[in-house]
Amino acid sequence: MAFNDVIGVAVVGRAVDLETLVDMDRLLKIAKISYVRIQFLGGLSVLISFSEEESASKFIDSRGLWGPWFSKLEAWKGQSLPLERVAWLKMHGIPLHLLDVEVLMQVGELFGKVLHTPKSVDEDLDLSFVTVGVLAGEAARIREMVTLNWKGRSFRV
């Protein structure tokens, strides 16, 4: 079995959002958590290894500390984990009058849980496409077209 050397001294966590996942290393250092390694597992999940079992157990028991960072945290025991990945949807063809965060959310939700949308597109210099991050449960590349219907007109995106 792979990674059996960290059974008992590692935890598997699912970050609450993409920003927290990206900042995990910094957050743990600020909280003065002494860990050996953080390894990205896909989606919002990470494997955090500690030097000894006591440190891993202490971290799991410190829900008040990690609660804002993780929606789920458990000891690594060799369990199977769900397939998740962050997919970046590059959306083309959204008409300018529909280029709104709410529309981007609606299109993104067709493919998974939306993790990231641009805060605003008003300042973007290239409005020919927009990128939206979603949490997808499949490994296949997303190449689908969707149709936006607005006031009796259809737009292929």
The C-alpha atoms of residue 22 and residue 42 are separated, in whole angstroms, by 12
11-16: average pLDDT: 97
**CATH for 4-75?**
3.30.70.330
Kind and range of the H or E run holding 25 = helix 24-30
Kindly list the domain boundaries of the chain, sorted by start residue.
Answer: 4-75, 85-156
Contact 157, 98 (CB under 8 A): no
Both tokens of 60, joined, read 């799991």
pTM above 0.75, yes or no: yes
pLDDT tens-place string over residues 23-35: 999 999 999 999 9
